[in-house]
């Protein structure tokens, strides 16, 4: 078995037992990137020189007997909305195409402190606005399982890199499903932590009350390993939760006897394909075979989550993206004699793609005088009702099991002319963000050779329980061992 086929945990053991050096591991992953990247297009920026320099430094520290950390020598792909000091951070947008961040995001600092090696910056939907990674200003990313299909979005580059074995670990961000949905499409494990568990310092914001950074991996153990590194309090993020962290790896006991698994009927409603429902229900049956108990629950207001999200998220985007004015940093377009309004208009027209402009306009309208009460204020009230539905459900169960996405990955271009159909790809994931809850997606089946995702949702700050349930299911099945062959064009 080659090094690129090993999990991150296995790679750390290779290094610990002196079977491989950090440099050997990095070189093999860089060779893999050279082999497949032209077809997959997972990265905006690959960092071969930086990665090799870092690997050599870690090898020297190992030779002197130093501990290089729990992720020492493991390559990581970082979504290109996380600031990396001295390196381009583009958000896959012309607006920030040449922006070089002057500081590292908190999670990037944590990766470095624990010995990980950033191997590249992953492609994404521009400013994380999209569900297919077709909205990148540079190029679409392709699904390694079928190069004619999307990898999902907006963290499509991160998940494609992991699925194509270009990196064993990746960081993504999840505002309405942007880690979990592409993880389902690419047959990976993707996790959205509780809002506030992972610092957003250095994350270029889309919707600040919804954004959360999380891991993308090929198995649940690696997800727990990466979460352990990035979670924890950071005083620079005022929403960061200050409480002791559990040992997430110790939660992977394999024992789920007595676990109550809630099955919300609304998540299996119209729009979810029958083959997805069947695969997820078989996964729930497997959990019951392992000792869990299935409990049907109802969450009626989740029906309104999609509409609510597309008022709240664009409203926050409208506010966050106002900073891109052609004055402070980023792109500027102007001609001699232009006043500030002309310069601003030309800059934004050139810098923002269609989807970003569309969402800014929606948000600006929802926040405008005369419409704030009719739209934004009401959406926030519905958000409260959605959260209460989850609270009631967790009075009856320990985790919730649902589909991650209503279909398998769709063909490139299939939904670009139908914005509503595109947005429906996140119908099962958006309610979780509205409530700030943790959730994980993992493979639970195949349809026409394409992966299907099982979503396990936990109560606030109960990542340990969903990791335990996901790991137990994973160990009892073979789906996580399936790999993309990169054969179809």
**Separation of alpha carbons 486 and 164, rounded Å:** 8
**Which CATH number goes with the domain that contains 150?**
3.90.1300.10
Catalytic sites, residue numbers = 79, 154, 178
**Residue 73 domain-assigned?**
yes
**Residue 111 domain-assigned?**
yes
| Confidence at residue 487, expressed as pLDDT on a 0 to 100 scale | 58
Q: 29 near 77, Cβ under 8 Å? A: no
**Residue 421 domain-assigned?**
no
Apex 473 CA angle, 469 and 474, nearest 5:
115
pLDDT per residue of the chain (489 residues) written in tens, 0 to 9: 799 999 999 999 999 999 999 999 999 999 999 999 999 999 999 999 999 999 999 999 999 999 999 999 999 999 999 999 999 999 999 999 999 999 999 999 999 999 999 999 999 999 999 999 999 999 999 999 999 999 999 999 999 999 999 999 999 999 999 999 999 999 999 999 999 999 999 999 999 999 999 999 999 999 999 999 999 999 999 999 999 999 999 999 999 999 999 999 999 987 899 999 999 999 999 999 999 999 999 999 999 999 999 999 999 999 999 999 988 889 999 888 889 899 999 999 999 999 999 999 999 999 998 899 999 999 999 999 999 999 999 999 999 999 999 999 999 999 988 888 898 999 999 999 999 999 999 999 999 999 999 999 999 999 999 999 999 999 999 999 999 998 544
**Separation of alpha carbons 255 and 252, rounded Å:** 8
**Residue 487 domain-assigned?**
no
**Separation of alpha carbons 247 and 467, rounded Å:** 11
**Residue 102 domain-assigned?**
yes
**Residue 326 domain-assigned?**
no
**135 φ, ψ (degrees, to nearest 5):** -90, 5
Domain that holds residue 26: 3-255
Structural domain tally of the chain? Answer: 1
Q: Model-level pTM greater than 0.75?
A: yes
**Residue 481 domain-assigned?**
no
Q: In 10 A of CB 365, how many CB atoms? A: 17
**Residue 297 domain-assigned?**
no
């Amino acid at each position: 078995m080659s090094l690129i086929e090993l999990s991150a945990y296995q790679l750390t053991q290779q290094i610990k037992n002196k079977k491989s050096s950090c440099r050997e591991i990095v070189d093999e992953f860089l060779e893999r990137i050279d082999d497949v990247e032209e077809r997959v297009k997972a990265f905006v920026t690959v960092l071969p020189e930086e990665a090799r320099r870092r690997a050599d430094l870690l090898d020297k520290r190992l030779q002197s007997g130093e501990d290089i950390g729990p992720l020492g020598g493991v390559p990581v792909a970082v979504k290109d909305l996380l600031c990396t000091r001295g390196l381009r951070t583009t958000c896959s947008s012309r607006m920030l195409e040449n922006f070089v961040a002057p500081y590292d995001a908190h999670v990037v600092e944590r990766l470095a402190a624990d010995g990980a090696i950033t191997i590249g910056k992953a492609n994404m939907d521009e400013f994380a606005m999209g569900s297919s990674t077709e909205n990148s200003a540079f190029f679409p990313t392709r699904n390694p399982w079928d190069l004619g299909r999307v990898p999902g979005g907006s963290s499509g580059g991160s998940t494609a890199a992991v699925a194509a074995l270009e990196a064993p670990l990746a960081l993504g961000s999840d505002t309405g499903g942007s880690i979990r949905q592409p993880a389902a499409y690419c047959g990976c494990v993707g996790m959205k932590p509780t809002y506030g568990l992972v610092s957003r310092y250095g994350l270029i914001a889309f919707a600040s009350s919804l954004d959360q950074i999380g891991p993308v991996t090929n198995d649940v153990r690696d997800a727990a390993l990466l979460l352990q590194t990035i979670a924890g309090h950071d005083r620079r993020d005022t929403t960061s939760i200050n409480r002791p962290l559990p040992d997430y790896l110790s939660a992977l006991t394999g024992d789920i006897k007595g676990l109550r698994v809630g099955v919300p009927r609304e998540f299996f409603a119209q729009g979810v394909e029958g083959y997805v429902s069947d695969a997820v229900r078989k996964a729930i049956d497997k959990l019951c075979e392992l000792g869990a108990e299935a409990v049907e629950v109802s969450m009626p207001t989740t029906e309104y989550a999609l509409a609510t999200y597309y008022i709240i998220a664009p409203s926050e985007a409208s506010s966050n993206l106002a900073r891109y004015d052609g004055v402070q940093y980023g792109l500027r377009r102007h001609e001699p004699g232009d006043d500030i309004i002309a310069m601003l208009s030309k800059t934004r027209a050139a810098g923002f793609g269609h989807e970003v402009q569309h969402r800014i306009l929606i948000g600006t309208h929802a926040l405008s005088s005369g419409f704030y009460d009719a739209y934004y204020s009401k959406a926030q009230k519905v958000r409260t009702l959605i959260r209460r539905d989850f609270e009631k459900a967790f009075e009856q169960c320990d985790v919730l099991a649902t589909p991650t996405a209503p279909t398998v990955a769709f063909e490139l271009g299939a939904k670009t002319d139908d914005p509503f159909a595109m947005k429906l790809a996140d119908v099962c994931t958006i309610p979780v963000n509205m409530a700030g809850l943790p959730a994980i997606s993992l493979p639970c089946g195949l349809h026409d050779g394409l992966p299907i995702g099982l979503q396990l949702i936990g109560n606030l700050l109960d990542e340990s329980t969903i990791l335990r349930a996901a790991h137990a299911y994973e160990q009892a099945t073979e789906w996580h061992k399936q790999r993309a062959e990169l054969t179809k064009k």
